[in-house]
């Protein structure tokens, strides 16, 4: 019987994942990973995971990864905004923590396979989009090390989210879990990312708003309040058309704004490229944000830096965000927009 370690958050998706794998005949163990310092949050959710473990008759381990998470994910998140860059902490967490440290922990327990409640598919060689396209999370795994793919299982890849919820409601131990509010995309952000930044620095330092020619046209409340494409929260003298943030200048505490058409980009570069097969010059579909549709384009790579040319422009391209590459529903990999 094959052993599998399931990342259990105390929520519906990870719980159903553990149940499905046990029904398939796997010898299941669970692990609750403490990633941040919200103690009440962890106490409540670990208790849920333990209750499910007792119901299934499986061990649920508690693994404190808060130090590694702070160094690899949280500090990167804070520093990125300080540098005027828009980070993607979930992509970083999946590479270094969930499918990095968790794999190492499974190895230490003598367990070969790891599973989570992510909505995507994996055949051991490649990652594919989930059946439920509205919940597909393949984008967030484009930076995962190719070497770990043979160890990964994602039972919910063939499920629709509503069916998972309905399945959970029929299991007595899951009654309160099945109706709980879904967690936010960034686990350590409760309302707004600026609340996190305010714990570490003064972000309310008023500065100048520039137009694309470098002229001062207004003011803003501090550059870390803005991301590329943001429309509100700054002042532009005499503007009649809506203006959007085009660029951020952290060293001078300035933002550059302009009309929507100036947000259009059809060419850009990526670095920190991660691919699941050897590719140098290729056509593919490209997603530049999680919630935006993929656009066809061409990628050429040299010295682990890539040039991307899109067949049609996208809006709001942000440095630090992730460009994920697809061949249809198959994830080819991705890179960091630079």
- Close Cβ partners of 39 (under 8 Å, ≥ 6 residues apart): none
145 and 95 Cβ atoms separated by less than 8 Å: yes
Of 90, 122, 142, 187, the catalytic one is 187
The Cα–Cα gap between 330 and 136 comes to 12
Residues in the chain: 338
User: Greatest CA span in the chain, whole angstroms?
Assistant: 71
Residue 172: Cβ-neighbour burial (10 angstroms; 0-12, 13-18, 19+): exposed
The Cα–Cα gap between 92 and 68 comes to 12
Nearest residue to 6 via CA among 65, 66, 60: 60
Q: Is 338 one of the annotated active-site residues of the chain?
A: no
Q: How far is CA 147 from CA 55, 95, 153, 196, in A?
A: 34, 11, 14, 34
Alpha helices, DSSP H only, in 37-94?
39-56, 66-69, 75-82, 89-93
Of 93, 122, 142, 284, the catalytic one is 93
Alpha helices, DSSP H only, in 170-239?
175-178, 193-197
- 3-class DSSP string for 231-300: CCCEEECCCCCCCEEEEEEHHHCEEEEECHHHHEEEEEEEEEEEECCCCCEEEEEEECCCCCCCEEEEEE
Task: Provide the b/e sequence for 237-273 (b: ≥16 CB within 10 Å).
Answer: eeeeeebbbbbbeeeebbbbbbeeebbebeebebeeb
Active-site annotation, residues: 93, 187
């Amino acid at each position: 019987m094959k052993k599998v370690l399931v990342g259990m958050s105390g929520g519906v998706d990870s719980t159903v994942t553990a149940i499905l794998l046990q029904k398939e005949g796997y010898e299941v163990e669970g692990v609750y990973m403490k990633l941040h310092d919200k103690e009440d949050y962890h106490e409540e959710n670990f208790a849920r995971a333990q209750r499910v473990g007792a119901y299934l008759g499986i061990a649920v381990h508690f693994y404190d990864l808060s130090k590694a998470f702070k160094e690899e994910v949280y500090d990167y998140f804070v520093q990125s905004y300080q540098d005027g860059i828009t980070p993607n902490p979930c992509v970083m967490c999946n590479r270094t923590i969930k499918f990095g440290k968790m794999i190492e922990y499974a190895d230490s327990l003598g367990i070969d396979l790891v599973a989570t409640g992510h909505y995507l598919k994996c055949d051991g060689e490649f990652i594919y989009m989930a059946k439920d396209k509205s919940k597909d999370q393949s984008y967030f795994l484009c930076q995962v090390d190719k070497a770990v793919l043979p160890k990964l299982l994602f039972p919910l890849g063939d499920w629709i989210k509503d069916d998972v919820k309905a399945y959970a409601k029929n299991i007595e131990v899951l009654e309160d879990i099945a109706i709980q509010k879904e967690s936010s995309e960034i686990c350590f952000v409760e309302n707004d990312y600026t609340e996190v930044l305010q714990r570490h620095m003064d972000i309310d330092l008023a500065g100048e708003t520039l137009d694309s020619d470098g002229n001062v046209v207004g003011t803003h409340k501090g550059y870390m309040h803005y991301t590329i494409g943001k429309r509100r929260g700054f002042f532009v003298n005499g503007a009649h058309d809506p203006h959007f943030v085009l660029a951020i200048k952290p060293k001078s505490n300035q933002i550059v704004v302009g009309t929507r058409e100036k947000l259009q980009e059809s060419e850009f570069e990526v670095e920190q490229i991660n691919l699941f097969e050897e590719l140098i010059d290729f056509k593919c579909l490209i997603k530049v944000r999680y919630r935006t549709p993929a656009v066809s384009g061409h990628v050429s790579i040299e010295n682990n830096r890539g040039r991307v040319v899109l067949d049609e422009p996208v809006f709001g391209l942000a440095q630090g965000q992730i460009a994920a590459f697809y061949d249809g529903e198959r994830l080819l990999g991705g890179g960091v927009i630079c």
